Structure 1
């Protein structure tokens, strides 16, 4: 079947990309057969699965994090997925350019133009308008040439913001300077990820076509932030590997081919970044999206709860490592096994499969405890799109905590849909991860991916429909077999910029 499926030219292309024939064949089968839904046992809540944010514990956990940073062996990275283009952020403006009217009509369009002068990129845009049209923004708007302003903002002949990544866009304006989203992560890193040597490790995952621009920006601003915060930044970049791209199929299940007969490969989604995370020589890694940043005035809660989550991770990990040392010595008592089982339930939402006797429980606990750990901040659900926290049933009869997207849930099942609709919390991509075991050895993170949590997306290419394989999401199925703790954090720590007018919210305005 494999030889019938792929031509000699296909096999050469697979080899160039580093994709094995076995992997490619499996992708085809997965798209054709689809993936099973996960069985939800409960929506995670403060009563079941989410650790409450207790003000009385804040100082303790923050102190634990500060003490970890003082250790000589502390190894902390701040990883920021930053490859996505800002095209979705400007969807409203692209629609305006294509519209058959020339002046703003929708509420969003009117707000954009009415408050254009409040955006951090205003002065830069005005300079571009003067270069391109010999007129300032006020003059262009006065003569009703709204689309000229938008074209100058979005298209390559102007600022090219419509195709640039969010990290390179000016997000915030201060008294005498404007900052990009990337620069705000520089500031954050200095405030909660500085080690005992004064070093801040920042890692950005980017697209290859933008690497030079990112490197140029870092070279331009790095010294200034190092001097201001008395730190040394160690900045690194990585790209999504071609070997993580996935095949596309036609709606009928055949290989999707371009006009020249070659196979169509598509990026496998953010789940492909598990390889990038795996390559970091780090003990603890914070993961946060590029667009979830705020002005310095509002950074207090963000920094406080990053330290808080870091402290929760350190506390949980210390307990896990202690249990693993006990188990490694052998001769663990029944009461000690019960204590470990209760800890697994309370910290990670892991309930034992039916009945295990002490002889089989000890190795089961050891295998379950000796895994990567992630602590995920969870905010109250305010209707934002994205994944939520759930308690699910595992194939061995145990349970675990998982972040699920709606596509992973059987909405045709009334009970499962009710669990989804009852969800009170939302995943803001606010993670702190422990990547080494109790002996200091790095985990192979690719061992803990659940391949059955990928999903099929319906896309199109030059007007032709196709089925695309999305790999298990980085904080979804790519971390399925990690030990996971959910911790409540305030909504004020979540301030994403999903569309351009979000930059007009108070958290982004001086």
Structure 2
């Protein structure tokens, strides 16, 4: 492919080479590679169901072990609140109180989220602040019709001369109102983290944020630090990172030629959340909990969430002890055949690594399978919420392992694959605890465990023109494809994402 000198300079400024860009274009030409799902992971077949007694034992084990480890909570937080307020933006653009009435508009839209908003908007954590601003900017507010008031209030929530909430990072939108103060998703993550990751009275958190937003998060922390630290009795170490520009990917047009902007420049897009494996790879901690920025609960519901976090952490510590012990045994040599059989059984029964082939270098094979980062993933029963599903997947070498698979990765044109996909009972709520060091205490290079073939091609638009975008293998999909994986069932009460503003009106987001 012929790149101009201007193109080459732009590519190099991204930290990329022309060869890497050409390899990305080859992926577009190849298309999405479908995975080979052999079975849906279900309770008893890939997903563990932890009963009450074992749950308490794992929580106690976690509490007894955690002070010996360096622990951190990793929160992808680069998302903007724009999509969260999309229905309100549409309403502000479309609704004309002179000619429309609210009931007719809602009936026409058939949008249940919008209907919930108008039924209960006075319960939003920022309602009183918005109403106060609306009345200040419209002195005749009380005399106006309800339809006019609704339009003014929505515009006050959204626009720059009001609260301008849709322009904020999602993590800094007020989520919950407690008497005299409101708490953002950022603050709720701190409060939750203080309950299970604090070691020697210090809780470490890492937020991946969009460039330009770091100062906003730091400003919020300055505002709330005294209140949060006094309430929790914990000191916080908070760090931030951006998605590395070299993880951006070239976009192409429908003819697989590089997409160009109106100025003739190459157009690069962020490589999706899969690019965050590089951010995680820079961490020094041994144990990392991963949770999305919008999945938080109110303070009065947090203990239930904390208990299940500790349960997952206890499970990780148990698995790590076993795996590290096996690796130390293999490193010493002269391992009796009974021990080798035990290790192979553990791989098959506990880690669900199933390989039918014979291995001449059997001990090296066992070492290779054990010497991997470990993730313990909470799985929630599927009740219609979106999210990747847990499956047993066969790779091109014939090895079967537990994987989190997105719908776009499944070959629904294949009747057998489509049938297997429909047998899935659970989804991944991004509730993961990771073990990032090996039995010698050395950090893994996480890039060695990515399946690059699990990248996504998505159809997007730019300047009104269609383009194809490449997303890197998802952080918890292809980005962790070669990790050792444990799936554990957790209750749906631990999953409370806020995808739209109306989700804040659900009971789980209403403080008692």
For this structure pair, what is the TM-score category when the shorter chain's length is used for normalisation?
A: over 0.9
Give distance in 2, aligned partners of 1:244 and 1:140: 52
2:44 counterpart (24, 47, 51): 47
Query: Deviation string for 1:185-237 (max 9, x for gaps)?
Result: 01111101110x20000111111121111110011111221122111100111
Q: Residue 113 of structure 2 contacts residue 500 of structure 2 at CA under 8 Å; is this kept in 1? A: no
- In structure 2, the partner of 1:177 is 181
**How far did residue 336 of structure 1 move?**
1.3
Give distance in 1, aligned partners of 2:430 and 2:390: 11
Give me the CA root mean square deviation.
1.5
Which runs of 4 or more aligned residues in structure 1 lie more than 6 Å from their structure 2 counterparts after TM superposition?
Answer: none
Query: Deviation string for 1:138-177 (max 9, x for gaps)?
Result: 6666362422221211122221112212110110011222
Matches within 5 A, 1:18-417: 18-71=15-68, 74-99=69-94, 101-102=96-97, 103-104=101-102, 105-106=105-106, 107-134=112-139, 142=146, 144-195=148-199, 197-356=200-359, 359-417=360-418
Q: Residue 189 of structure 2 contacts residue 296 of structure 2 at CA under 8 Å; is this kept in 1? A: yes
**How far did residue 290 of structure 1 move?**
0.8
Uncovered stretches (5+) of structure 1, i.e. residues with no partner? none
Give distance in 1, aligned partners of 2:9 and 2:113: 49
Q: Residue 341 of structure 1 contacts residue 352 of structure 1 at CA under 8 Å; is this kept in 2? A: no
Give distance in 2, aligned partners of 1:67 and 1:141: 61
Query: Deviation string for 1:61-95 (max 9, x for gaps)?
Result: 11111112222xx2000111111011221121122
Give distance in 1, aligned partners of 2:172 and 2:143: 28
Give distance in 1, aligned partners of 2:43 and 2:146: 54
- In structure 1, the partner of 2:109 is none
Give distance in 2, aligned partners of 1:484 and 1:139: 61
Matches within 5 A, 1:490-505: 490-505=491-506
Give distance in 2, aligned partners of 1:80 and 1:34: 30
Matches within 5 A, 1:427-466: 427-466=428-467
Q: Residue 353 of structure 1 contacts residue 396 of structure 1 at CA under 8 Å; is this kept in 2? A: no
Secondary structure at the residue paired with 2:195? helix
Q: Which stretch shows the higher mean deviation, 269-278 or 114-123?
A: 114-123
Q: Which stretch shows the higher mean deviation, 96-105 or 498-507?
A: 96-105
Give distance in 2, aligned partners of 1:58 and 1:143: 52
Give distance in 1, aligned partners of 2:476 and 2:55: 25
Indicate how the Cα distance of structure 1 residues 52 and 140 shifts in structure 2: closer, same or farther if over 3 A, else same. farther
Q: Residue 140 of structure 1 contacts residue 149 of structure 1 at CA under 8 Å; is this kept in 2? A: no
Give distance in 2, aligned partners of 1:399 and 1:218: 45
Indicate how the Cα distance of structure 1 residues 268 and 155 shifts in structure 2: closer, same or farther if over 3 A, else same. same
Give distance in 2, aligned partners of 1:66 and 1:29: 49
Query: Deviation string for 1:415-453 (max 9, x for gaps)?
Result: 111111111001000000011111011111111111100
Structure 2 residue 21 is matched with structure 1 residue 17:
no
Give distance in 2, aligned partners of 1:342 and 1:56: 25
Q: Which stretch shows the higher mean deviation, 256-265 or 155-164?
A: 155-164
Query: Deviation string for 1:302-341 (max 9, x for gaps)?
Result: 0000000000000001000000001101122222122111
Give distance in 2, aligned partners of 1:445 and 1:128: 49
Q: How many residues align?
A: 501
Secondary structure at the residue paired with 1:115? helix
Q: Which stretch shows the higher mean deviation, 391-400 or 422-431?
A: 391-400
Give distance in 1, aligned partners of 2:218 and 2:194: 19
Q: Which stretch shows the higher mean deviation, 156-165 or 377-386?
A: 156-165
TM-score (norm 1): 0.95
Give distance in 1, aligned partners of 2:146 and 2:92: 18
Give distance in 2, aligned partners of 1:408 and 1:278: 25
**How far did residue 509 of structure 1 move?**
0.7
Indicate how the Cα distance of structure 1 residues 369 and 100 shifts in structure 2: closer, same or farther if over 3 A, else same. same
**How far did residue 96 of structure 1 move?**
1.4
Secondary structure at the residue paired with 1:305? helix
**How far did residue 97 of structure 1 move?**
2.2
Structure 2 residue 466 is matched with structure 1 residue 469:
no
TM-score (norm 2): 0.95
Indicate how the Cα distance of structure 1 residues 143 and 476 shifts in structure 2: closer, same or farther if over 3 A, else same. closer
Q: Residue 125 of structure 1 contacts residue 153 of structure 1 at CA under 8 Å; is this kept in 2? A: yes
**How far did residue 372 of structure 1 move?**
0.5
